[in-house]
Structure 1
Amino acid sequence: MLRRHFFLCGLAIVFGSGAARADKPRVWRLGYLGSGSGTRSIPVLRKALQGLGYEEGKTLLLDIREAKGDYSVLPGLAKDLVAGRPDVVVAEATPAIAAAKEATASIPIVMCPATDPVGSGFIESFAHPGGNITGLANMYGDLTAKTLDFMHLVLPNAKKIAVLTSANPTHRSLFEVAKQGAKSIGIAAEQFAAPTPADLPAAFAAMKSAGCEAVYVLADPPRPLVPQLAQQLEMPAIYQVDTYVQLGGLMSYGPDVLDLFVKAASYVDKIFKGTSPADIPVEQPSTFHFKINLRTARALGLKVPETVLIQADQVIE
């Protein structure tokens, strides 16, 4: 009887420990490859994943690599990130997406966001991505004409503007779109490149020397020095990326960039749960916001017409 008791206890311990192992939640590994600095985007992504039931340190491990505006380091960062064998990689902006694509053809990649995902070779189509990449697009190219119209309403006498570019591979085509858009409203546009954040002061000095009256800043993860230099040199600036307005930028028109990271979390969740990225359509934003910073306008000595203010979705006083 005693021997049978020990035998039954032993079975209970063996099967009990097996059940405990079976009930233990899976720990998912998420890689984040940033073209810029994720000061604003990463907390938003973290909160969105938490809302979907993932607990960092228990059911989620987040591995972060950031280029902080120096895109030349992205291939190495992507290689290091992929070596850790994450279950999914979130890639911020086109430079990081391109680096992640080169680093792996098997690990799912969530774009957040891409300017031209089809033209960049990331996906086959928006409805059927077809490979290991899916996620969000931003539509900045389609918004250029209206963005420049807003600038023209605030600066009706401007005859020449600068277009600020970086080493972002989409900027070549975006500049051509901006150049044609400016020409259609009687404004000349000249390109000024700042491949890295360290190149920004020289680029702004060149704009000023060239007689540019304003600057159109093409989409990139925010480089905080840009609005600072624009104010120092009294250069009104309009941005494709809306978060610049919170950093002291004058105006922006486009999607809510941080909201895209909330949506990126839902893509990660679907992939974790077994859906192939090839079968998840790429989403484009349907809502766009015009934002204006009146504090910056006053600092630049600009009078913003009431007809412009009533069109703004957000006015920072």
Structure 2
Amino acid sequence: MRRRDVITLASGATLAWLPFARAQQSSRKVWRLAFLNTDSWESEVQRALFEVFRDELRKLGYVDGKNLVIERRAAEGHYERLDQLANELIALRPDVVVAVATPAIAAARRATATTPIVMWGVGDAVALGFIKSLAHPGGNLTGVATMFSDTVGKSLELLHSILPAATRVAVLGRSNATHKRLFEEAEAAAKTLGLVTIPISAPSRDDLGQAFETMVQEKCDALFVLAGPIEPQIVLLAAGKKMPAIYQFSAYVDLGGLASYGASLALMGKQTAHYTAKIFQGAKPAELPVEQPVGFELALNLKTAAALGLSIPAAVIARADKVIE
């Protein structure tokens, strides 16, 4: 079966379920939802994404402050805090935990083997040991996969189209269990384009400044930022170093990044809300297949391109889903 057919079937199943969900809202139960984020609530991007998720829950009949209580915790980019925050949330006895990104998902899994966990954006959940298979998760976790490893090649092709003279590309990774594999994917894709990849590690946001100094010392022509918690400082540092950068989230382009290609985080948030509602209604995570993203987007920031002295080819602009002028 083609991937497009799979997505269509998954979307159709979700839509078919909606009347059932709304029909079940007669219960007087107040649901408790725990929300664990690796990023900061001070981030405008994170607030906007959370509102997408909460609004979708509202459409499904679950209203924060009425029949729903949401307990939120954020690690502010300090992954070492995630275990403590996850344990705090589990102590509140939530009906469901929503965990955003792989580090938070791993912490939630360590904190509980029984409370349902919905994953908002996970890499290879099988390889990471979170689930048994996409079709049959088999435990207390389910949710939405990112497919970022599948889009690495297209991201580097986009970078090569914008910067055909570039030869040395820095690949920026953080403290994320999926980044080793993503770098391997980037290295393999880069070779086919005649590019050399330089691995750059910044375990925490405090390491980002030194990471960019290393890129300059390594004479990198461009930067590819691997998927992870959105860090506005990366955009600022890239601008300061005149470093053209491509990302896996379009939110970076909104913040001033040059270009991005990857799954739509907003659509993934809506999918996550539907998983949450299904579990409220009695569905078991072990029996809910992990879905792929339902939308991918190519985003460009022409203002940033101009500031860098770059001219993005018209053919690339024509393919873009979002263009900031």
Once residues 84 and 278 of structure 1 are traced to their aligned partners in structure 2, the CA distance between those partners, rounded to angstroms, is: 22
Deviation at 1:132, TM superposition (A): 0.3
Once residues 273 and 239 of structure 1 are traced to their aligned partners in structure 2, the CA distance between those partners, rounded to angstroms, is: 37
* Aligned counterpart for 1:28 among listed residues 21, 31, 40: 31
**Structure 2 match to 1:148:** 156
* Aligned counterpart for 1:305 among listed residues 305, 313, 320: 313
Deviation at 1:25, TM superposition (A): 1.2
**Structure 2 match to 1:133:** 141
The equivalences for 1:197-276 within 5 A come to: 197-276=205-284
The equivalences for 1:152-191 within 5 A come to: 152-191=160-199
Asked if the contact 1:215/1:235 (under 8 Å) is kept, the reply is yes
> Normalization by structure 2: what TM-score?
0.89
Q: Please give the per-residue CA displacement for 1:184-214, whole angstroms capped at 9, x wherever unaligned.
A: 1111101111111111111111101210010
Structure 1 gaps, min length 5? 1-22
SS of equivalent residue, structure 2 residue 54:
helix
Once residues 157 and 207 of structure 1 are traced to their aligned partners in structure 2, the CA distance between those partners, rounded to angstroms, is: 17
Asked if the contact 2:302/2:324 (under 8 Å) is kept, the reply is yes
**Counterpart of 2:148 in structure 1: which amino acid?**
Y
Deviation at 1:286, TM superposition (A): 4.1
Q: Percent same amino acid at aligned positions?
A: 48
After TM superposition, what 4+ stretches of structure 1 lie above 4 angstroms from structure 2?
A: none
Deviation at 1:134, TM superposition (A): 0.3
Question: In the superposition, relative to structure 1, how do residues 120 and 24 fare at CA in structure 2: closer, same or farther (>3 Å)?
Answer: closer
> Normalization by structure 1: what TM-score?
0.91
Once residues 39 and 194 of structure 1 are traced to their aligned partners in structure 2, the CA distance between those partners, rounded to angstroms, is: 24
How many residues were matched structurally? 295
**Structure 2 match to 1:69:** 77
**Structure 2 match to 1:116:** 124
Asked if the contact 1:35/1:70 (under 8 Å) is kept, the reply is yes
SS of equivalent residue, structure 2 residue 164:
coil
**Structure 1 match to 2:4:** none
Asked if the contact 1:86/1:107 (under 8 Å) is kept, the reply is yes
**Counterpart of 1:300 in structure 2: which amino acid?**
L
**Structure 1 match to 2:48:** 40
Once residues 100 and 35 of structure 1 are traced to their aligned partners in structure 2, the CA distance between those partners, rounded to angstroms, is: 11
Deviation at 1:149, TM superposition (A): 0.5
Once residues 217 and 90 of structure 1 are traced to their aligned partners in structure 2, the CA distance between those partners, rounded to angstroms, is: 25
Question: In the superposition, relative to structure 1, how do residues 24 and 115 fare at CA in structure 2: closer, same or farther (>3 Å)?
Answer: closer
Deviation at 1:287, TM superposition (A): 3.0
Once residues 252 and 266 of structure 2 are traced to their aligned partners in structure 1, the CA distance between those partners, rounded to angstroms, is: 12
**Structure 1 match to 2:110:** 102
**Structure 1 match to 2:200:** 192
SS of equivalent residue, structure 2 residue 261:
strand
Deviation at 1:315, TM superposition (A): 0.9
**Structure 2 match to 1:15:** none
SS of equivalent residue, structure 1 residue 296:
helix
Deviation at 1:256, TM superposition (A): 0.6
Aligned-residue Cα RMSD (Å) equals 1.1
**Counterpart of 1:106 in structure 2: which amino acid?**
T
